[in-house]
Amino acid sequence: MISRPVGQALKRERHREDLLSTNTVTENGTAADDVAVPRTADAKPFVKPLWYWVLLIVLVAVIALTAVPAFTQHPHSPSVGDFFPGAIFGEGTFLEFNRLTFVRLVMGGLLCLTLGLAAARRFRMVPGRGQALLEIIADFVRSNVALMLLGNKNGRRFAPLLGTLFLGVLAMNLSGIIPGLNIAASSVVAVPMVFAALTYITFIGAGIKEQGVGHFFASQLLPPGLPKPMYLLITPIEFLSNFIVRPVTLTLRLLCNMVSGHLLLGMTFFGTTSLLLHLQASSTISLLTGAAMIVVTLFEVFVAVLQAYIFTILSAVYIKLSIEAH
């Protein structure tokens, strides 16, 4: 019977022989473990998916179609008429389709396509760039808005809604800097009104479900601790503040920021194009307007993200005020 130390020594010797037989041996007799091993047939190089190339071709085509008129036609100065484009078809009917309708469909389709592809793909433990970006946005809305303002229980309950509001408003805002679209879909009142109506219905419905009809409207219209005669003055003010002013301010805040951003961005583009192509101005002035164009574009991206965040956090605050008894 072989003793334990001898058996362990035999195992180590066999293991060393296996290593020497499988590894490449150098001229001095040592095993070269670090010698590069050729890739197996199963290892395939990374290939970008078909949808990536399709989106890239569409983007290049849109930029090209936008750039040709910009350098061949007289520059178009920004005006209020940009927000009231002519109908492509269906003029004067409920199904009227114009440029802004096209922008909404494009941004909504891109958002749904992006989220659909992300949901269809298997999530990895080590995320790629696209998955990491989506996880950052989702965690930001969930942790810094929903859970922070609504608590653990209600935060988990309303996090999908708040995430939808944030991504929807952000997508509609960013269309203003995309070549070929060149106008924010939220720069007309219909889009901000739809998002505000969604928030309005949610905070009323959540309050009624949490407190009941009577307690909800009492908490919103009759602040406790006031003399009864004061309610004749306070109740109409509370009604206007809670049920009229909230959705109106949500709509107008987003609308006015996007309208002013479009006009400011259009002025810088118009000034640069006019100086370079038509007025034959000096390169110094055109460089200044071009730099202003880049700065304003970056600022417009910042405003788009900021307004989406403000809209989402105000929606969370209104929901919090409706489900908590005063």
pLDDT tens, position by position, 209-256: 988 898 899 888 888 888 888 889 999 999 999 999 999 999 999 999
Q: How far apart are CA 117 and CA 114, in angstroms?
A: 5
The pLDDT of residue 37 = 44
CA angle 198, 202, 206 (to 5 degrees): 175
User: Considering the chain, what percentage of its residues have pLDDT values greater than 90?
Assistant: 28
Of 24-28, 93-97, 143-147, 216-220, the least confident: 24-28
Reply yes or no on whether the pLDDT at 15 is more than 80: no
The pLDDT of residue 48 = 67
Q: Looking at per-residue confidence, does 47 or 158 come out higher?
A: 158
The pLDDT of residue 168 = 93
Reply yes or no on whether the pLDDT at 115 is more than 90: no
The pLDDT of residue 110 = 86
Considering the entire predicted model, what is its pTM?
Answer: 0.74
pLDDT tens, position by position, 145-202: 999 999 898 999 999 999 999 999 999 999 888 877 788 899 999 999 999 999 999 9
Reply yes or no on whether the pLDDT at 282 is more than 60: no
Q: How far apart are CA 269 and CA 263, in angstroms?
A: 10
**What is the average pLDDT score of the chain?**
78
The pLDDT of residue 158 = 93
Which candidate, 262, 294, 99, places its Cα nearest to that of 181?
99
The pLDDT of residue 145 = 92
